[in-house]
Structure 1
């Protein structure tokens, strides 16, 4: 590794340029990952916070929960027979505060369950984000389709649906607002395999997320950008080391003539790759974690340590693959030919 280190010191500018590019790409990837995760939570925290289980909706609803209506007898059977099962409905709407200012919310109601807030008739429990708009516990809010007033009972943390704050209301109030008696969904926690039920279609938590408008498109776009950046970093390593290897053909020829094994030459290249990537990733991880502390309030940015470690490992693997692919030409080096062709 002494040769590898001497080369890094001799060609500081080259390795500094590569390290800078890897730093920028990895930093941008971590930032976009944090934004993707934050938007995912902002779009579907209500669903993502539920335990693993199965969602059931009407099979004629075309995988659109808004069109789903669960037969009351089927609902009663499922809720009574399955432990901790709950029937629920979700509908976008709004509430008006005392100043008659509208606030978009996602109304949620359910049968008695520990998975959802229990709300009495005439009460409402809101996501904490709406508290920033000046609404407090004990305030009265209204809805144009509701004859009375909702009294704010409390707030819950990080409960969003389709980028709107969740508003838990009683089932009777929900039925009055939307004029329906049937619930849209039944959720059964803890089911690994879906139970076949006539007239109903089952979805795992992950599958149900795909039925949320804009969720799949939003996440797919951001994930494509992330993986595109990862692939770019691998190509950068491959191109950089390929050009370096072309310039060092003569050196490799002499080393091969002196009996240096090909595996040692690869080891030298891997050492350089790891050294550059480790420094670049350390800086990008530190800055991205620092960004979580200074990110603007209200910006959906969540970069967990788990995601950071996973992406760092992926970058190291991609760098290793890129460097290795570029090094295959080393195995074909003929010492005498390389010495005649190259200059030291």
Structure 2
């Protein structure tokens, strides 16, 4: 360690460049991780709020929530610790005061007496026909407020925002919770008002549900992975992050190897003086650890500062476990990359290196 630190102090600029390159790559990896995790969370936030274990869809829907159509009466046939019906539909809302202000949303039709009921952070739960509880992002990001009226782009149905909930995104879109009656009115129009809803999209359960004819059972984890675009996004970011970690190892390995080659004569003299190859090799590994660790720490600090500065519109979230795992992985892989230099040190012939 003494030799490693002494060399770094002696050639500050040279090693600062190595730390700088490591920092830039580490920062990019951490930033992409934050974006990947943030996007993934915006796909599933509303699902996580359910704290459910399974979801039941029509066996003809190919595991697609939007394509599933169920008779609400089938709920009575399902046996589970807790169960709830869910009607879901994407939609576009238009500000009643500004026709140019449009937002893509996802509607959840629920029974407020069941466990899918959202928590209220502002306002109240929907009670009247046409009332909705919206995700907080519609207030903080898009400027909507309690009491605001919006209309559906499809049929002009007027809805009133009576409450806000938090962490309610589904497939990146803000969720608007409403009653099954209002959902039915939105889907089928005023001519069907007052009639019992003819269909829902799914039955969500806590605890393993009983097998029911005509229903396909998915765990919540399986359901999330089958959301359109979710798996492709996670895999894409995963491969990008993996390749960047490998690139980090290659870059640091090349730097250390070049520096080692430049010091062959010095290492030859040291070996001629009786200093073992193991001691020199440990110094190189320690040096690599210091450089990689320094770059990673600076990258982590920069990532946290960036997260604080980013606007709410950017789906960026830091997850300490992910960041710590990637940080350790970068350092470990960088040390493995330095082993090529260790191999060269072991092969040094003092006479040839000096001569």
TM-score by length of 2: 0.84
8 Å Cα contact 1:241/1:327 also seen in 2: no
List per-residue Cα deviations over 1:118-150 (Å, max 9, x = no partner): 643331111112224443222333336668643
Offset, 1:155: 0.6
Q: Which structure 2 segments of 5+ residues have no match?
A: 119-124, 189-196
How far residue 223 of structure 1 moved from its aligned partner, in angstroms, is 2.3
Give the distance between the partners of 1:199 and 1:256, measured in 2 at CA: 77
Runs of at least 5 residues in structure 1 that lack an aligned partner in the other structure:
none
Which of 88, 91, 97 does residue 90 from structure 1 map onto? Answer: 88
- 1:230 equivalent in structure 2: 245
Q: Residues 26 and 296 of structure 2 are in contact (CA less than 8 Å); yes or no, is this contact kept in structure 1?
A: yes
The CA deviation string for residues 157-208 of structure 1, in whole angstroms up to 9 with x for no partner, is: 22112222111111122123224622212222344xx764443333233321
Partner of 1:217: 232
Residues 148-297 of structure 1 correspond to what in structure 2 (within 5 A)? Answer: 149-179=158-188, 181-191=198-208, 196-297=211-312
Matching of residues 36-185 of structure 1 within 5 Å? 36-51=36-51, 53-78=53-78, 81-99=79-97, 101=99, 102-111=102-111, 112-117=113-118, 119-120=126-127, 121-132=129-140, 133-143=142-152, 149-179=158-188, 181-185=198-202
For residue 321 of structure 2, give the secondary structure of its aligned residue in structure 1.
helix
- Aligned equivalents of 2:162, 2:13: Cα separation in 1: 63
Q: CA RMSD in A?
A: 2.6
Shift in Å at residue 232 of structure 1? 0.5
Contact 2:88 2:109 in 1 (8 A): yes
* Aligned length, in residue pairs: 336
Q: Which residue of 2 aligns with 1:340?
A: 351
Show the counterpart of 2:192. none
Change (3 A) 1:213 1:256: same
- Larger deviation: 56-65 or 177-186? 177-186
Q: Which runs of 4+ in 1 moved over 6 A?
A: none
In the superposition, the TM-score normalised over structure 1's length comes to 0.87
Residues 141, 150 of structure 1: 8 Å contact kept: yes
SS in 2 for 1:61: coil
- Equivalents in 1 of 2:271, 2:257: separation in Å? 18
